[in-house]
Amino acid sequence: MHPNPQFRSDDRQLFEALIDEIGFGMVFLTTPDGPRVAHTPLLSTGEGAVQFHLSRGNAQTRHLDGSTALVTVNGPDAYVSPRWYDERDTVPTWDYVALEMEGRVRRLSDDELEAFLHALIAKHEERLDGEPWRADEASETTWSKLFRGISGFEMEVQAWRPTLKLSQKKNAGERARIADGHIAAGRPAIAALMESLGA
């Protein structure tokens, strides 16, 4: 989390929207073998927890249950050039949106893992054009092989630490030029967030 309080928020609805929209994050854990990170799909329970799954062979899997972990979700980001400022005698920076969540992790039961997988598949299939793929299209053999190869987890979030760094320290004219610059550089998502969140 960025130390500047200007880049923070207490808007839980915004956090949930970020988790829902991105749907993917990183789980960080200090293990007996040292710090480890895993990349995984995320699903919010809507009740202050996030669920995810990892390969049973992942270095974190045998250590997560009962541990405190950190999960991060990275939103849009973009380089900010001093050419967009009123005064060019400065240095470049970066606009970005990120959410850190810290909390206790528990292993999901088989029934909970099954429900999580079906919810995750349905959510992402609905976002695609065409006829959705359904989990029951996988044979029992294929599904069982997948299921035996993963472990599911839920982290109860005890601390939400967002960073919404969207050039808030700049004046309105500079912010407009920065947003235009992001759009021209192919980063329209960060420009849209500057307009909706960064005031």
pLDDT at 197: 81
Contact 154, 106 (CB under 8 A): yes
User: For the chain, what percent of residues have pLDDT higher than 70?
Assistant: 99
Residue 84: Cβ-neighbour burial (10 angstroms; 0-12, 13-18, 19+): buried
pLDDT at 199: 54
**Range 65-74 burial, b when 16+ CB lie within 10 A, else e:** eebebbbbbe
H or E element, residue 107: strand 93-107
- Residue 97 phi/psi, 5-degree rounding, is -125, 130
Q: What mean pLDDT, rounded, does the chain reach? A: 95
pTM: 0.92
pLDDT tens digit string along 31-88? 999 999 999 999 999 999 999 999 999 999 999 999 999 999 999 999 999 999 999 9
pLDDT tens digit string along 41-55? 999 999 999 999 999
> Strand locations in 56-92, DSSP E?
68-80
pLDDT at 2: 83
> What count of Cα atoms within 13 Å lies in the side-chain half-sphere of residue 41?
14
The domains of the chain, with CATH numbers, are 5-197 (2.30.110.10)
